[in-house]
Homo-oligomer: A and B are copies of this chain.
């Protein structure tokens, strides 16, 4: 008998027939002899409906009341799911974040889980009851309802799994698992049987929106075995593991991102503090900078290049034009027709040839690299947006990601 935490997202409980389907999956797990704790999101569309209501009343809805409002979405879903389970003869009990004491800080709309009190759940499980917990929400020290931000149900599930020392945390979604690349771009992309937490974080932040990053970090920190799998198709999904297995691939997957825009400041005086002078107004305006590269100085002048989210393009343009008045600067270039491609893999750090193979592959395709940034387990390049699909496919081919790791040799 194992203790399994299953998280079902909004699409999985998006209609009454789908709730019945989830009931069947839970009953099957239970019939296999396991104890089950279920975490549910709001039915798909419900959160958007509530957000729209709030925004019609207030341009900046009060954060505390916004959380009170949003948290009802999961409460509806958990009650319906529990009813459906009980109707099938399976004892079930639902709990809100406050009821089961998912304690968070008081940062409304993006609270962080501090502690989970598992005793109530343990008692129910011991009596053979399926426990259904509202995802995405918690309660602060003063009894205020908090929410964890979009995707927060994943974190709820992982936190519960950690607190209950569950044997596995299963994240049910509308994809079959994690792939070597987006199957819409690379039809022969292969589903990964396992990835490490670190790879998963890079893949997620790079655009593979399968699971919330914070939840993956949480899983890594508390050593929770997480499996991502499909609600709608049978299969064993992708297991997110803590550390590298011996036959783990060098490159696990390719992520991409079309949501960034690039700015180049050319011929900047290379003085101490110059980068801060340019970037401070951006951080003051809560604009996140992703990639950032400064070229070596030539004759006291340097080029600074960075990327931001596309939605911030106009605002950044304005801020830079303001700053540039007081800066010595040859030229300011902005480009929002770019895309980022990233190779992700635990093996990258010990295989420097991966980066050069990447650059060579793109070069052969005639795709110009505008910017490069690397981390321990990732190499990212910025290219013209129009070459994105071709670039991803060429790299998938070059690194033989369609094959099982054992069959691949990189020299």
Binding site for B on A (CB under 8 A): 16, 19-20, 50, 53-54, 56-59, 61-62, 64-66, 68-69, 71-72, 75-76, 78-80, 82-84, 86-87, 92-94, 96, 98-99, 143, 145
Which chain B residues lie closer than 8 Å to A71 at the CB level? Answer: 75
B62 and A83 within 8 A (CB): yes
**CB-based nearest B residue for A62:** B86
B66 and A79 within 8 A (CB): yes
**CB-based nearest B residue for A56:** B16
Given that A16-B56, A16-B57, A99-B143 are contacting pairs, would A80 and B69 also be in contact in the complex, using a CB cutoff of 8 Å? yes
A54 and B72 within 8 A (CB): no
B76 and A19 within 8 A (CB): no
Instruction: Write the nearest CB–CB distance from A45 to chain B, whole angstroms.
Output: 13
Instruction: Write the nearest CB–CB distance from A350 to chain B, whole angstroms.
Output: 52
B62 and A80 within 8 A (CB): no
Whole-angstrom distance between the alpha carbons of A57 and B17 in the complex?
A: 9
Which chain B residues lie closer than 8 Å to A76 at the CB level? Answer: 50, 53, 69, 72
Whole-angstrom distance between the alpha carbons of A53 and B80 in the complex?
A: 8
16 CB contacts below 8 A, A to B, read A16-B53, A16-B56, A16-B57, A57-B87, A58-B83, A61-B83, A62-B87, A65-B82, A65-B86, A68-B75, A68-B78, A68-B94, A68-B96, A69-B79, A75-B75, A98-B99
Chain A contact residues: over half helix, strand or loop, or mixed? Answer: helix
Number of copies: 2
Instruction: Write the nearest CB–CB distance from A134 to chain B, whole angstroms.
Output: 9
Instruction: Write the nearest CB–CB distance from A104 to chain B, whole angstroms.
Output: 15
* Other-chain residue from B50, B62, B87, B143 in contact with A82 (beta carbon distance below 8 A): B62
B80 and A54 within 8 A (CB): yes
Which chain B residues lie closer than 8 Å to A65 at the CB level? Answer: 79-80, 82-83, 86, 92, 94
Whole-angstrom distance between the alpha carbons of A80 and B56 in the complex?
A: 10
Which chain B residues lie closer than 8 Å to A69 at the CB level? Answer: 75-76, 79-80, 83
Whole-angstrom distance between the alpha carbons of A68 and B58 in the complex?
A: 27
Which chain B residues lie closer than 8 Å to A58 at the CB level? Answer: 83-84, 86-87
Given that A16-B57, A58-B87 are contacting pairs, would A93 and B80 also be in contact in the complex, using a CB cutoff of 8 Å? no
Which chain B residues lie closer than 8 Å to A57 at the CB level? Answer: 16, 19-20, 80, 83-84, 87
Whole-angstrom distance between the alpha carbons of A71 and B78 in the complex?
A: 13
Select the residue from A64, A79, A93 with max chain B CB neighbours within 10 A. A79
Instruction: Write the nearest CB–CB distance from A71 to chain B, whole angstroms.
Output: 8
Select the residue from A16, A19, A143 with max chain B CB neighbours within 10 A. A143
Whole-angstrom distance between the alpha carbons of A79 and B61 in the complex?
A: 10
Instruction: Write the nearest CB–CB distance from A14 to chain B, whole angstroms.
Output: 13
Whole-angstrom distance between the alpha carbons of A83 and B69 in the complex?
A: 10
**CB-based nearest B residue for A64:** B93
Whole-angstrom distance between the alpha carbons of A31 and B232 in the complex?
A: 56
Which chain B residues lie closer than 8 Å to A82 at the CB level? Answer: 62, 65, 68
Which chain B residues lie closer than 8 Å to A54 at the CB level? Answer: 79-80, 83
Whole-angstrom distance between the alpha carbons of A57 and B88 in the complex?
A: 10
**CB-based nearest B residue for A132:** B65
